[in-house]
Structure 1
């Protein structure tokens, strides 16, 4: 006899957990499926802050400006309204667990109207739970792991939720034009009269999809090998439209030279700053002791953009049609001995039991491995850059003069972050590193997946990174808020269908 549940949720990260909890609380029998042997996905590696808002109208105004016309108003309105209730949702989930939830004001990344209404809600503490001991295969922010633990506790205590790990889904079942269930890899079929919610992430670990959709070509995945676009392809197979496929969240970073570590390592995480804020944030920023050069030996960007962990990777995507090559990928990161002594220049993140790499505190391990190569003088630096010595020398001289002057007239880098370079120099190749993707199936404000003509694909919903609302400029913590808001909407609406 075929198994039947009211609602099936595909993917057990933040979005899948929020969805399953909401559906169960609405009265549904829920099957939560995860293809990996362990739950958490890319979510467990995150910073753990869900975006909140004090004023829904102000949040909507900001989101509309930052969307660049790529996301319909009703979807943004639903997200803005939902952000005003995110903190309350976390507080309710924390009841009886001992977890401490904190809400703090933190303006959004760009100074569009309404940016000051935003904040973050975090799981600040979870007494008796040590993420490092519980999940030694995970490297990320402690708060991200604490948030996942809170959700996991809530999933486990709900009898209406059945969880199955190591259960990849390879397709969706249909009756006519209606999605009626899923096909796991084991050849079985599981029915869900309420529908299926795709909460299985994006395609940061699928270089073939990246090559098709991203002008700059593939990027290194920062943390997780399981997000290979499964939900996107399943949605396409039943007639879904796609959006935001070009938009990914990421920085620049390193490919480790021994070839055994499966992920890219992002550069050190720097505080964000808000453009046009009168200079306060810019002047108080830490030193970033490097510059980036293209293959000709020239600087090409502000290495410390306002939200460097989000947009900086885009700047490496420029293709030179005359030379038939990407002039900035890989780029050449140049620092010096003083720069190497400041702090670790990389920070690995991962959710993978088989991957092991921890960056050294003094960067010596990375120099010994050959990731950073030493150049005694400018001529040797040019040789390592494979660029004309006169261009490299002029670039470094111009940069040092800008540091003396306290103004980067070329790209507007924050003054306090600037660091002059003196020999010996140290050089590392850096490439785009993707944290997560935003593209996927189009959904409406009710999280229903839509066909190209705008009609719903009956019985199919999406939540979280699998078709994010962010299609132009991302907002830190925005995907996590979507996991909560969109997951809860999808879970409740699928439950309504099961009861109809």
Structure 2
């Protein structure tokens, strides 16, 4: 169990200027920003053998507004429009100031990583994600989160950051004045070490891997497949509770209604936004899939055996092949192909007549430009054409979105609203911009706050250390 203990700076034999717990996108971005701000000694603690976390399990797409990548694609966007999209999707629940800050910081952060550290970002310009009024997703060539975290790690190592892998931080030390004074961590062999620090950044994601916390805050997904990183055990939340930090929107989370089963690989939502749909084991549609993949998780889990099939066509498959995950699914023969809906039903072991009637009604709604019975608007949605494709999927919890409340410098706030001067949080450790419900998650919100708050925290930590 993560714990809090008392210790003063003088109690540590070895100290470092900046310690960062977690070497995912948030921690690595924070480290790069701190180095650029002049911090000479930066140490990141990573519980795994190599940095990965939730970033590596995602498509690695960072939403950002007003970038040159958008301009090159002829897309006009702004921080104000991005912030409005976030607030609309999250039912106006998030802190408007935080939303405005991360939306404003997003474009500069992506261009900074591209220009300063040679991360080869490009824009996903051939399809839109639910809730985004502009195409603003930026990713690596493989459209893989693993590539994003690998390139961030390489940049951090080149910048001179020390990344201690296989190092699980179990204790934070707090001084008499309430400031953070150090950490202790354990190695795989059980060896426990202590390190003093002048500034600490928590970038250790959320609590999706802690079943007790999930049952407490997201009971509807307490028995669901967890598709996030098992290391997301909620240390930031538990430490925050112990030191009197303010926590908010702990029920907020990202679900995913399209995890290939049993392959265990994310199926891109382009299969839906480009004109596909989902059916259950009865061959029937059951919801408006276009609302978003996060809220679709519970809709899929309500179906018989918690199973659905995502149906699309070869045109859509061509778009999906830019994603490494989709190419892997094809290599695993998890993408089922057939020249007709009837033959597809046979391969999927679904009732043929029912599936045919379902798909005829779905396509007719496109032709008529009308809302379907679930309220999905299908006007100008491309019709599916033979040959057809399908993937068997289930719903899952991916990561949590609530956490430590931070100020404009990403400093952790106490319950009374005052800041803990030398404690910062970013990414999944901090309260995000998705509100309290799965439906509040706008695609990319996780990496948005990882990259923007990571950079803000690293820069603020550097300025604090420079002034101390």
Please report the TM-score for the alignment, with normalisation by the length of structure 2.
0.74
Shift in CA distance, 411/490, structure 1 to aligned 2, threshold 3 Å: same
2:411 pairs with 438, 448, 455, which one? 448
What's the offset of the Cα at 1:14?
Answer: 0.8
Which residue pairs with 2:343 in the alignment? none
Distance 1:18 1:148 in 2: 10
Distance 1:310 1:376 in 2: 28
Shift in CA distance, 363/331, structure 1 to aligned 2, threshold 3 Å: same
Distance 1:152 1:240 in 2: 30
Which residue pairs with 2:422 in the alignment? 459
What's the offset of the Cα at 1:398?
Answer: 6.6
Which residue pairs with 1:131 in the alignment? none
Distance 2:79 2:335 in 1: 45
Partner SS, residue 249 of structure 1? strand
Q: Is the 8 A contact 2:362 2:372 kept in 1?
A: yes
Report whether the alignment pairs 1:121 with 2:138: yes
Distance 2:256 2:193 in 1: 40
Report whether the alignment pairs 1:110 with 2:151: no
Shift in CA distance, 24/402, structure 1 to aligned 2, threshold 3 Å: closer
1:73 pairs with 96, 120, 137, which one? 96
What's the offset of the Cα at 1:104?
Answer: 6.5
Q: Is the 8 A contact 2:247 2:431 kept in 1?
A: no
What's the offset of the Cα at 1:12?
Answer: 0.6
What's the offset of the Cα at 1:460?
Answer: 1.6
Q: Is the 8 A contact 1:332 1:427 kept in 2?
A: no
Partner SS, residue 182 of structure 2? strand
Shift in CA distance, 172/63, structure 1 to aligned 2, threshold 3 Å: same
Residue deviations 1:293-333 (CA, integer Å, cap 9, x gap): 69xx975412x3243x332114357xxxxxxxxx5474343
Shift in CA distance, 471/286, structure 1 to aligned 2, threshold 3 Å: closer
Report whether the alignment pairs 1:435 with 2:411: no
1:488 pairs with 455, 458, 462, which one? 455
Distance 2:453 2:310 in 1: 43
Shift in CA distance, 456/39, structure 1 to aligned 2, threshold 3 Å: same
**Structure having the larger proportion of residues in helix:** 2
Q: CA RMSD in A?
A: 4.0
Which residues in structure 2 correspond to 1:143-222 (within 5 Å)?
143-159=144-160, 161-176=161-176, 177-185=178-186, 186-193=191-198, 195-218=199-222, 219-222=224-227
What's the offset of the Cα at 1:226?
Answer: 1.9
What's the offset of the Cα at 1:487?
Answer: 0.8
What's the offset of the Cα at 1:397?
Answer: 5.5
Q: Is the 8 A contact 1:74 1:444 kept in 2?
A: no
Shift in CA distance, 329/212, structure 1 to aligned 2, threshold 3 Å: farther
Which residue pairs with 2:31 in the alignment? 20
What's the offset of the Cα at 1:166?
Answer: 0.3
Partner SS, residue 192 of structure 2? coil
Partner SS, residue 270 of structure 2? coil
Report whether the alignment pairs 1:92 with 2:76: no
Residue deviations 1:112-171 (CA, integer Å, cap 9, x gap): xxx44x6233344xxxxxxxxxxxxxxxx5443333233122211123x22100000112
Give the aligned length.
412
Unpaired runs of at least 5, structure 2? 1-11, 67-77, 338-346
What's the offset of the Cα at 1:67?
Answer: 3.6
Partner SS, residue 457 of structure 2? helix
Which residue pairs with 1:62 in the alignment? 85
Which residue pairs with 2:243 in the alignment? 238
